[in-house]
């Protein structure tokens, strides 16, 4: 969600920069105007999951020198989902992400969905490995501090409505005049140009405009949504890709007239990020006038691939490869279909998909999920149960690959919180949960105190 309604190693930081390293300088404390006693239920540090070292103690920033993006300075001005998810991803791999939050309640995500001691448990995922600074960007003083931080940053992330930063005097051209190497990631509903650029855009609208929502659901019924903000996350991931590409280009542009290299704007639109994942949708329409329609749990034109009822639940089965199809038919006792020359390739199977789904269902519906999955996996047929989060939290494969980490929330009950691990997994320079999600303004003095003094207003 954008805030519209309200292989190169990155270069080392410039030697003369004032950007304070995490955990150094003045001791962290809440910014003026923030409420340190009620903001967060702060984490006391991450506890090790499988293959994960424990994190630092409260008050310390992310460890310097950790991860492939160590030394990369990121200023995050975004709120809610898309911009902050991009910042989280960079921070997981060592970038020093300074998150700017407005005074008062901070990022609205702190109050979204289920709260523990007044703060969303989601916050502990979205803002891990970051430092929080409170600035009021609607004031001259707040904007001046943001400009000084941007002058020392490698990357700036924002997901405001297009034109907002320009209104505040913080547009790219203005900031790049002081910092030519700055890379600005701009995530918005419709992009920085075009006739829709000024419209408010949330992920729910982007998923509809990008073509995804029309395909989700049963034929003839109101389209459904996935239950998570896919448009925001897809935009964030495209944004991270763009940042890494821009860093590579910046390194290649280093020269006497650009000692840090030349930065650029990375313009990511939510709807385009969704549309980019729509596979053959457009070329099929262009070539044949075909408008793909919703098909429930099936994948039109690919067969057999569907969800199937069992005696005690459902499974998904992907039997659409030619050799896989034959093994699937053998496993369910339908060798006749496996040997049928009229089902030898996907195009033929797609034409008889109803017949195949009926044959598979006749077999699955008489068996429990565990039996179906075990039988098909033994036959090397892709199949699996449909997981709930309760299944995920105890699954041995998730645990073995470090995808379930735990952090302890400081508070009356010392809540131990399971959080997702790091993706992707790098063999030599893996990411890590190095520090807990910050309290509101926890690092304002650490980041700005030497410059403004501890009693300066945000």
Q: Is 3 a catalytic residue?
A: no
Position 416 confidence tier, pLDDT thresholds 50, 70, 90: confident
Q: What is the pLDDT of residues 307-355, one digit of tens each?
A: 999 999 999 999 999 999 999 999 999 999 999 999 999 999 999 999 9
**Cβ(27)–Cβ(446) under 8 Å?**
yes
| pLDDT for the residue numbered 392 | 97
Average confidence (pLDDT) over 94-109: 97
Catalytic residue among 92, 136, 232, 357: 232
User: Locate tokens 């038919």: which residue?
Assistant: 329
Give the C-alpha separation, 179 to 282, whole Å: 40
Q: What is the pLDDT of residues 219-277, one digit of tens each?
A: 999 999 899 999 999 999 999 999 999 999 999 999 999 999 999 999 999 999 999 99
- Rounded alpha-carbon distances, angstroms, from residue 285 to 127, 274, 276, 291, 299: 41, 17, 15, 6, 17
Mean pLDDT taken over the chain: 87
Helix (H) / strand (E) element for 298: namely none
**What are the strands, taking DSSP E only, across 40-127?**
43-47, 73-76, 96-101, 115-116, 119-120
**Cβ(60)–Cβ(38) under 8 Å?**
no
| pLDDT for the residue numbered 10 | 39
The answer to whether the Cα torsion of 203, 208, 210, 213 is positive or negative is positive
Give the C-alpha separation, 238 to 272, whole Å: 10
| pLDDT for the residue numbered 407 | 82
What is the three-class DSSP state of 255? strand
Q: Count H helices, E strands: the chain?
A: 18, 14
Position 73 confidence tier, pLDDT thresholds 50, 70, 90: very high
Q: What are phi and psi of 23, to 5 degrees?
A: 80, 0
Looking at 186-225, list the stretches that DSSP marks H as alpha helix, in order from N- to C-terminal side. 203-209, 212-215
| pLDDT for the residue numbered 410 | 60
């Amino acid at each position: 969600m954008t805030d519209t309604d309200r292989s190169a190693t990155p270069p080392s930081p410039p030697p003369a920069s004032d950007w304070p390293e995490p955990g150094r300088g003045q001791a962290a404390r809440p910014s003026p105007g923030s409420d340190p006693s009620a903001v967060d239920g702060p984490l006391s540090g991450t506890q090790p999951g499988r293959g994960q070292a424990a994190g630092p103690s409260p008050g310390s920033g992310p460890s310097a020198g950790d991860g492939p993006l160590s030394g990369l300075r990121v200023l995050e001005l975004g709120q809610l989902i898309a911009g902050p998810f991009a910042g989280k991803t960079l921070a997981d791999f060592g970038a020093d992400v300074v998150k700017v939050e407005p005074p008062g309640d901070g990022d609205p995500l702190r109050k979204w969905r289920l709260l523990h001691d007044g703060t969303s448990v989601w916050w502990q995922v979205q803002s891990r490995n970051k430092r929080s600074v409170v600035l009021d960007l609607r004031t001259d003083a707040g904007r001046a501090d943001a400009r000084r931080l941007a002058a020392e940053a490698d990357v700036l992330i924002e997901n405001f409505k297009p034109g907002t930063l320009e209104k505040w005097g913080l547009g790219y051209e203005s900031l790049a005049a002081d910092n030519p190497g700055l890379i600005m990631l701009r995530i918005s509903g419709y992009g920085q140009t075009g006739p829709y650029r000024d419209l408010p855009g949330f992920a729910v609208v982007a998923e509809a405009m990008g073509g995804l929502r029309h395909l989700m659901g049963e034929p003839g019924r109101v389209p459904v949504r996935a239950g998570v903000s896919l448009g925001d996350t897809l935009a964030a991931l495209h944004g991270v890709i763009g940042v890494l590409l821009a860093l590579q280009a910046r390194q290649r542009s280093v020269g006497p007239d650009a000692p840090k290299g030349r930065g650029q704007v990375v313009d990511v639109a939510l709807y385009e990020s969704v549309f980019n994942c729509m596979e053959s949708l457009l070329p099929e329409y262009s070539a044949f006038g075909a408008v793909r329609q919703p098909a429930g749990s099936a994948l039109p034109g690919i067969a057999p691939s569907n969800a199937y009822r069992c005696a005690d639940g459902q499974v998904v089965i992907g039997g659409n490869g030619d050799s896989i199809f034959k093994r699937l038919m053998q496993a369910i006792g339908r060798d006749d279909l496996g040997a049928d020359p009229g089902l030898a390739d996907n195009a033929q199977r797609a034409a008889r998909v109803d017949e195949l789904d009926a044959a598979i269902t006749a077999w699955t519906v008489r068996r429990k999920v565990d039996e179906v999955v075990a039988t098909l996996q033994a036959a090397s047929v892709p199949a699996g149960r449909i997981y709930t989060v309760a299944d995920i939290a105890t699954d041995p494969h998730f645990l073995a690959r470090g995808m379930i980490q735990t952090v302890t929330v400081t508070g009356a009950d010392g809540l131990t919180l399971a959080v997702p691990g790091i993706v992707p997994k790098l063999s030599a320079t893996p990411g890590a949960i190095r520090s807990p999600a910050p309290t509101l303004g926890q690092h304002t003095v650490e980041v700005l105190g030497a410059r403004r003094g501890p009693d300066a207003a945000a």
